[in-house]
Amino acid sequence: MTFTDKESHMLLNAKRAVVTGAGAGIGRAISLSLAEEGARVLVSDLDEGAATRTAELITAAGGTASATVCDVADEASVVALFDHAARVLGGIDLAVNNAGIADHPGDIVDLDVETWDRVVSVDLRGTFLCLREELRRMSGSGSIVNIASNAGLKNAPGMAAYTAAKHGVVGLTKNVALQYARRGIRVNAVCPGTVGTEGIRSFPAELQQQWSDMIPMGRIASPEEVARSVVFLLSDQAAFVTGVPLLVDGGLMYD
């Protein structure tokens, strides 16, 4: 991929952006889309090598990016991420709180406390920790997107921790959006259904087909389709949109 010379039409031209969990899947696609729209992106991930690879992909395509390590569940690591952003970007205008993990489907009576704590720590506490630093450092303007899930609005069968954590992310998004509605900072959530990341593509083809058949549009989303909705919400094209959980699920929610 190469980015064409379309600076004047870029939706996020020269904006300074931080993306978490950006070393793979949806976070990598978001980082690439932000850079394609002119943003300078600080790519962060628990896996430093994966973050570096995303930054290299952006740079190779003509965009501007650098990489750093961050565990969103760890307060000191999150503070260090945004201190680093202040140094390398000179501040932040945009943030995407994307890092997330899921529990394996099963009966809640078999769900161990360690798994519950880990999922809630990464998905909900991680989103809180990042939001807090972003809001402390954005002065007077900014746009933030939290990556929730359709499991933030409906049940994800058998996945109690994930469903609870993602409902929490949607609630937190509404709360913070309203706290900051008159302070120039918009906060929204994107709620994907099933997305064709490497993880999802590693499941047996028959299972992927079953998931596709369940979706009214007849297929699962690409990571790039999720990324485009993030770009929209971050951009001035969504200037009067805040507190919204935007479903990107091919119609699954209302089937």
Ligand X SMILES: NC(=O)c1ccc[n+]([C@@H]2O[C@H](COP(=O)([O-])OP(=O)(O)OC[C@H]3O[C@@H](n4cnc5c(N)ncnc54)[C@H](O)[C@@H]3O)[C@@H](O)[C@H]2O)c1
Positions annotated as catalytic residues are: 162
Residue 104, C-beta contacts closer than 8 angstroms, at least 6 positions apart: 158, 159
Q: Which is nearer to ligand X, 10 or 74 (CB)?
A: 74
Q: Which is nearer to ligand X, 5 or 213 (CB)?
A: 213
Alpha carbons 75 and 38: distance in angstroms, whole number: 30
Q: How far is the CB of 239 from ligand X (least distance, A)?
A: 25
132 to each of 97, 143, 191, how far by Cα in Å? Answer: 11, 13, 21
The residue written with tokens 């990341």 in the block is: 197
User: What's the length of the chain?
Assistant: 255
Strand ranges (E), the chain: 16-19, 40-45, 64-69, 94-97, 142-147, 185-192, 245-248
The residue written with tokens 């469903």 in the block is: 163
Q: Which is nearer to ligand X, 184 or 190 (CB)?
A: 190
Q: How far is the CB of 17 from ligand X (least distance, A)?
A: 16
Alpha carbons 90 and 84: distance in angstroms, whole number: 9
Q: How far is the CB of 67 from ligand X (least distance, A)?
A: 12
Q: How far is the CB of 139 from ligand X (least distance, A)?
A: 25
Q: Which is nearer to ligand X, 7 or 47 (CB)?
A: 47
Q: How far is the CB of 90 from ligand X (least distance, A)?
A: 23
DSSP assignment, residue 253?
Answer: G
**Residue 235 and residue 37 in contact, taking contact as beta carbons nearer than 8 Å:** yes
State the residues that interact with ligand X by CB under 6 A. Answer: 20-21, 23-27, 45-47, 50, 70-73, 98-101, 122, 126, 147, 149, 192, 194-195, 197, 199-200
Q: Which is nearer to ligand X, 58 or 122 (CB)?
A: 122
